[in-house]
Structure 1
Amino acid sequence: MTNIIQTIEKEEIARLGKKIPKFAPGDTVAVGVNVVEGDRKRVQVFEGVVIARKNRGLNSSFIVRKISSGEGVERTFQLHSPLIDSIEVKRRGNVRRAKLFYLRERSGKSARIKERLKARESDSQFEAIPEVELAEAPAQDAAPAEAPAQDAAPAEAPAQDAAPAEAPAQDAAPAEDKKDA
């Protein structure tokens, strides 16, 4: 029975066709939300730290927390909601917990999250370069290697120009000898 529900949810997610980036708790995201005011429609951006994420298929949601005018503001978003225009990951956070509710009691520097510099293996945004591209790269590098060899000749030319500049200095030295005599 649950398999039928899961397949229907997967079909619905595929039908929506939204491209959702991979993000985890601790990441800073900017969520573009469609807001309707009267007859006008605009996108309002809510940027903050993801403190929780629920993966429940079509009912997946996440909570974003930000500090606005010194007050903590949390907002829960449904991941597949038609109200969400876009989700952009601004920076990756390095945390050890799945739920960061402890950030609610913290303020200032203690509420900061370190940035994750290394990519996790599960992150698809940090894909390794395929070996096929690596094999082609040396062939392309051969042409630029020849270009610096051509640039080396003009680099020697200024050295020749420097020699005549030294010649007047030598002419000035005998003039000083004449003054001493």
Structure 2
Amino acid sequence: MNAEAIIRSIESEHLKSNLPNINVGDTVKVGVKIREGGKERVQPYEGTVIARRNGGISETITVRKVFQGVGVERVFLLHSPRIESIQILRRSKVRRAKLYYLRDRVGKATRLKQRFDRPF
């Protein structure tokens, strides 16, 4: 067995199979495990997926939301044990792979047209 096959077999044990089909432009709610003191709880983070990166075990999504007038972006490792759940709330029609232009937009200009062709 070569090295790549060994790495792939180890990674395959940690891949999550219950992930929804996430696309750029989707509005998602990510349940993130947060440790406070000795307790652990799930905190929802809701926003628009503006980027998707890589594949396999190192696949990430960048989720952007506006909180108290300030844009907040967070990168989530999809197959991380810290990610409890990912729920798609809304699908949007976009024509590019990265939506970094939303960073420069304010208010209603950040709205994306909803897509109804595929169910969640």
Alignment TM-score > 0.5, same fold? yes
Structure 2 residue aligned with 1:12, among 14, 29, 32? 14
Cα RMSD (Å): 1.6
Q: Higher helix proportion, which one?
A: 1
Mapped to 2, the partners of 1:70 and 1:91 lie a distance apart of: 22
Shift of 1:2: 6.5
Residue in structure 1 matched with residue 55 of structure 2 by the alignment:
56
Residue in structure 1 matched with residue 69 of structure 2 by the alignment:
70
> Alpha-carbon deviations, 1:28-80, whole Å to 9, x = none?
00000000100111110000000001132101110000000000000000000
Question: In the alignment, is residue 38 of structure 1 matched against residue 37 of structure 2?
Answer: yes
Mapped to 2, the partners of 1:12 and 1:29 lie a distance apart of: 22
Mapped to 2, the partners of 1:98 and 1:62 lie a distance apart of: 12
Aligned AA for 2:75?
T
Mapped to 1, the partners of 2:32 and 2:17 lie a distance apart of: 14
Shift of 1:82: 0.5
Aligned AA for 1:82?
P
Residue in structure 1 matched with residue 116 of structure 2 by the alignment:
117
Shift of 1:18: 4.4
Mapped to 2, the partners of 1:2 and 1:64 lie a distance apart of: 33
Confirm or deny: 8 A CA contact 2:50 2:62 kept in the other structure: yes
> Alpha-carbon deviations, 1:106-164, whole Å to 9, x = none?
11111111100112xxxxx56xxxxxxxxxxxxxxxxxxxxxxxxxxxxxxxxxxxxxx
Question: Helix, strand or coil for the counterpart of 1:26?
Answer: coil
Q: How many residues align?
A: 118
Confirm or deny: 8 A CA contact 2:14 2:79 kept in the other structure: no
Mapped to 1, the partners of 2:3 and 2:22 lie a distance apart of: 27
TM-score with structure 1 length normalisation? 0.61
For residues 161-176 of structure 1, what are the structure 2 equivalents within 5 Å?
Answer: none
Q: Which runs of 5+ in 2 are unaligned?
A: none
TM-score with structure 2 length normalisation? 0.90
Q: Which has the higher contact order (CA 8 A, sep 6+)?
A: 2
Mapped to 1, the partners of 2:47 and 2:3 lie a distance apart of: 35
Mapped to 1, the partners of 2:101 and 2:32 lie a distance apart of: 26
Which structure's CA Rg is the greater one? 1
Q: Percent identity?
A: 50
Question: Helix, strand or coil for the counterpart of 1:53?
Answer: strand
Aligned AA for 1:25?
V
Q: Which runs of 5+ in 1 are unaligned?
A: 120-124, 127-181
Could you list the structure 1 runs, at least 4 aligned residues long, displaced by more than 4 angstroms after superposition. Answer: none
